[in-house]
Amino acid sequence: MNAIGEFDSELLEDYLDDALSPGQVEHVARRLAEEPELAMAMHELRAARVLRAAAWRSLEPSEARAAALARRIAEVVWQDAWRRGARRALWASGSIAAAAAVFVVGWFLRPTVSPEVRQLSHSVRANVQPSKPALLSVDPVAGYHVALVDRNGKLMPVQKFSKADDARQFARDLLQYEDRRREAEQGGAMLVSDHF
């Protein structure tokens, strides 16, 4: 090894590493055939590689150890996946709980309809037609109210009027509009104005 220079030593290592071009390989092969010192150096380099190869192989663990590691990694990965899933579930359940809390708070804070109005609404609903959306109710203390109910009978916002005539007119208009809308839905023509 000492007999050859640095450059040749590097050249031989490159040759053994398959890092030379075909032309360089040919050149080295020719020199190896012609120069015994270079051939001896190459022999020594190959031997050193054999020793190192033995050292590399000795670093390889047993199959059982490698399999144990693979299991360990799989376990870590599954634990991680489980943790992520649990975090997602926790987040989802937290969201549901928050939504439920908002709903409950909203339910208790919703605008209340006075018992008189509700009672009148019920009575008018019973007297008129159950499917009518507009119901007239009269609250002598606070004015005149038109309580709106939808088709399912649920109470909707209450429109307040100071005059009974205005309240009646509003209720009439609504009922009229609703009748026409229903006719239009059933295929009939819809009047857009009463004034011709």
Partner 1 sequence: MSKDETVGSPDIPVATTVELFDRAVRDHSRRLLAIARAIAGNRASPEDVVQQALTNLYQHRDRYDWREPGGLMRRSVVNEALRVLRQPKMTAVSDEHPGQLITPMGGMIDRETVERVRQAIDRLPEHFRAALVLCEYENMAYSQIAEVLGASIPQVKTWLHRGRRQLAAMLEEFGPARQMIPGNARADRAGEEKRH
Judged by the rule CB under 8 A, the positions of this chain that interact with partner 1 are 1, 9-10, 13-14, 17-19, 43-45, 47-61, 63, 65-67, 69-70, 72-74, 76-78, 80-81, 85
Q: Which residue has the tokens 């009672």?
A: 119
69 vs 156, beta carbon nearer partner 1: 69
6 vs 165, beta carbon nearer partner 1: 6
17 vs 165, beta carbon nearer partner 1: 17
51 vs 109, beta carbon nearer partner 1: 51
Task: Give the shortest CB-129-to-partner 1 separation in angstroms.
Answer: 53
53 vs 105, beta carbon nearer partner 1: 53
Task: Give the shortest CB-34-to-partner 1 separation in angstroms.
Answer: 21
Task: Give the shortest CB-81-to-partner 1 separation in angstroms.
Answer: 4
Task: Give the shortest CB-33-to-partner 1 separation in angstroms.
Answer: 19
Class of residue 19 by CB neighbours under 10 A (exposed 0-12, middle 13-18, buried 19+): exposed
Task: Give the shortest CB-17-to-partner 1 separation in angstroms.
Answer: 6
In three-state form (DSSP H/G/I as H, E/B as E, the rest C), the secondary structure along the chain is CCCCCHHHHHHHHHHHCCCCCHHHHHHHHHHHHHCHHHHHHHHHHHHHHHHHHHHHHHHCCCHHHHHHHHHHHHHHHHHHHHHHHHHHHHHHHHHHHHHHHHHHHHHHHCCCCCHHHHHHHHHHHHHCCCCCCEEEEEECCCEEEEEEECCCCCEEEEEEECCHHHHHHHHHHHHHHHHHHHHHHCCCCCCCCCCC
